[in-house]
Chains A and B, each alone.
Chain A
Amino acid sequence: MGAPPTVVEVNDLHKTFRPEVFGKPVTALRGVSFSVREGECFGYLGQNGAGKTTTLKVLTGLMTPTKGTASLLGKPSGDAHARRDLGYLPENPYFYEHLTPVEALEFYGRLSGVSPADVRARTPRLLERVQIQDVADRRIRGFSKGMRQRLGLAAALVAEPPLLLLDEPLSGLDPHGRHLVKEIVLEERKAGRTVFMCSHVLSDVEELCDRVVVLHGGVVVKDGAIHDLLDSEPKSFELTADRVPAELRARIQAASTHYRESGDKITAHVRGSILGPEFAAAVQGAGGRVLSLVPERETLETWFVRVTGTAGSARMGSDS
């Protein structure tokens, strides 16, 4: 069985913004290349100004690259028909303010080539799925940011596209909304759709995505599966136990970075991948009881800071 086909292909993408009259040109992308395979949930990460939005605009045909190519499902991204199979949720989506969600979904569905009957059939289901069915006939004008975000997701899904391009899909949502959107993303993934997601909330990316590309200063600095990028060995352990003899307590306290006692119970953070399990075994051997032993691995957040910090220095170095 071969690898799944490529859905998004970005190759040596450059984009330079030329000032209208005066000023220096600004380069947003400097040879970005990556690809997304069918069925993947792909995270596209980068700090503000890294070039994420520019890449998305090129992919959605809103911008033409200065150099390089971008294709969606094998067709150049500038070709309107390539976008027929794309569901795009921009960051802070804006709609025609005087339309209702039902009219908006009809509009977007029809623009993507869905028949009027199919749009009519899908609309109630979609509105229910994003849980804005109660405001289906109210004008969008009065909607909160979260309601707009949900409607934007429904608009991206209305054509049931094989590829979803989601720019900050969880921004502006309350905890319930965030949970709902995550559920939908996971469901879409399960249904075999490819999800391309930009987000600043790295824990969300870690939770949802298989693979990430990190962009910094218009250059791809990392590209890989999340489990490959993050260290698999635990960095530290949090041990919670009770009935621990005093001598053992003193040893654990001496080796911990954080140590807390509460009555008979102790909680200790110990560095490294060895000490934690060793202390747990010692507690059990001394007649104590291990309540929990939680390994602490590197998060995407700490990894991102580490990677972009290094890349940033490298970039600055190369610039100078």
Chain B
Amino acid sequence: MDARLIVVAGIAAAAWMQGPAGAHNEERRRNDFRYTPDPAVVLVAAGAHKSTAADLLWLRTLPDMSKEFADPVLKARWIDNSLESITDLEPSFMTVYDFGQAYLTYLDRRAKGAADRAIALLEKGIRANPDSSGLHVRLAMIHFLEKHDRAKTIEILGRASVMPGFDSLSANMLTTLMAKQRDDAFALRYWVDRMEEGTPEMRRVATLHFWRTKNEIARRAAREFKQATGHAASAASDLNDPKLLQPEAIPAILDGLEFAPDGMPRYPKLFDLEIADFAQSAEAWARTFHDSEGRWPKLDEFESLPAAPAGKAWRFSDGKMTLVEAK
């Protein structure tokens, strides 16, 4: 018999048989059982390829995070074991901490102790990567959002604030929380320090946050002034009161402070900084748009274009966003 015929027939027969065999496998897997050996055994068995073993296990785990299991207990056990093994194999695998905590606090938040499991995972990550500001921020967020523990949040963000890569949004959160706790001087000093270091762009962002923090604190003081006196503050000197503001922060808060006709405090400097910040972001987005579309966007194509001040209008031309006199 022709050997080629046997090969072709064999392939055809095997391909046909693999259909029913695959269906049988599906049936077998219906109970969603996943086996992970003891993390200690995984660590020994992975040998030289711990990092690669972590990758493989992660690739196996990732799709299951968004999959519905018939038995949620089995799923929790599988995911927990996997996360444990992966982070044992590669303690610096940041994506695993990121996705793991996100999975536990969002996708699996109804499960018992999800927040505590997320905290345990992130604390393990921080032990292995003590300089990771990202892990600190995520841990702080869980304490803030899930545990409503403001003191713990401030403590963790405070530790993270001196680490490289601590982002300005988290810093803003920290200073806002500090201001809410009436630690005005700390909040302002934090941004003053940042304004003196880093790249020009980092200093620009720090300057913006410094003024935003001032605005936040001034608004709090104005609200408290109105509660105490029954009328709105109308001048900066109205807030010159140690009961309203932390004494060492008063000069900085009152510097450049004006009041709107409705009695709300405002800083013209902050307005200018916000406009410049928006223009910069808008121009960056417009450049991306230009690169992909081959043309500059029209003004109405910009998303969330803030209202221009009275008598002014936005104008976008040749990649530049400016405020011009309204026609």
Contact flag (A, B; Cβ within 8 A): no
